[in-house]
Amino acid sequence: MAEPQAVGVAERNCPVCGSHGLEIPRYRKVGLARCEDCGLVFHSRTPADARDAYVNGEYVARHVDYVEEERAAKHIAERRASWLLGFTAPGTLLELGSGRGFFLDATRRRGFEPLGIEPSPDLAGRAGDDFGVEVKQGFLDEVDLSGRRFASVCMFHVLEHVEEPVALLRQLGEQLVEPGLIVLEVPNIASAMARRRAEGWGAVQPDNLHIAQFTPSTLRRVVERAGFETVAIDTISPWHYIPPAERWRHRALLGYAYRAATLRTLKVTHESGFDHLRLVARRPT
């Protein structure tokens, strides 16, 4: 799928390679630009420090449906945990942005030894209370890991919130045993639905918190610039994450039908065109 076209120099340089960014007309209201060198799509204006939004509940309030819809959240966690087992045996695992702990619980039941890091005190506390999983409240640079290292580090819809993604991935690489895995899922701005909806696409909102947007090619470049080797990369449809009993609702069917017709596939995975972009990379020995 073609990447968004861009014109006009952005205020901010690319956070990955430092080159100039060009504003993208169809995303002008949300302030997105595309790097003229590495192709990364990023927020064109210097973002304010958003840490308070994740700690004080502002971000959680914007996603209350996901936080409170336990059936859907558990189904997503089960899907992700099963997918992870296709790349590694159970072992130590760190999840950055662990939310209410659904994924930590799903992996623990499969034999992993998980630890979460979550900036929201409310979500971190609920994860411990509801599932008895270990979660450290705060950001990666604030918590004490006491020298612990992990066979896998997972981030689901976290990297798009990070101002310097390469620096964070390198920092996480130091937490991995060799050859540990980094497991990522982010929105795919090259998806059929993103191209259709442009500024109305949900993953570009709120624009002050979603400050980087990835395509399959740019996510691979970012990960490899951080020193990892890509093992697998693909995109998946939201249909994959909808509980089976809810897939036959009118809206869900229409969404899947549009994506299937546009991408000419009846599968829920695609090389580049579905909404959720996921990647597994390995730390070289």
Residue 92 corresponds to which tokens in the numbers above?
């130590």
Report pLDDT digits (tens) over 56-105: 877 777 665 555 578 889 999 999 999 999 999 999 999 999 999 999 99
Residue 120 corresponds to which tokens in the numbers above?
């929201």
Report pLDDT digits (tens) over 5-62: 555 667 888 999 999 999 999 998 899 999 999 999 999 877 667 778 888 877 777 6
Report pLDDT digits (tens) over 159-193: 999 989 999 999 999 999 988 999 999 999 999 99
Rounded Cα distance, 265 and 252, in Å:
16
Residue 1 has pLDDT above 60, yes or no: no
Neighbour count for residue 148 (Cβ, 10 Å): 11
Cross-strand partners of 153: 94, 182
Distant-in-sequence, close-in-space partners of 155: CB < 8 Å, separation ≥ 6: 95, 96, 97, 182, 183, 184, 185
* 72 DSSP 8-state letter: H
Over range 123-151, report the average pLDDT: 95
- Percent of the chain scored above 90 by pLDDT? 72
String of b and e for 217-242 (b: at least 16 CB within 10 Å)?
ebbbbbbeebebebeebbbbbbbbbb
Instruction: Return the amino acid letter for 138.
Output: G
Angle between helices 165-173 and 216-225 (to 10 degrees): 50
Over range 110-123, report the average pLDDT: 96
| Residue 176 near residue 156, CB atoms below 8 Å | no
User: Can you identify the CATH homologous superfamily of domain 49-282?
Assistant: Vaccinia Virus protein VP39 (3.40.50.150)
String of b and e for 24-45 (b: at least 16 CB within 10 Å)?
beebeebbbbbbeebbbbbbbe
pLDDT band at 223 (very low <50, low <70, confident <90, very high): very high
Residue 245 has pLDDT above 90, yes or no: no
* 73 DSSP 8-state letter: H
List % helix, strand, coil for the chain (3-state, nearest 5).
35, 25, 40
| Residue 129 near residue 121, CB atoms below 8 Å | no
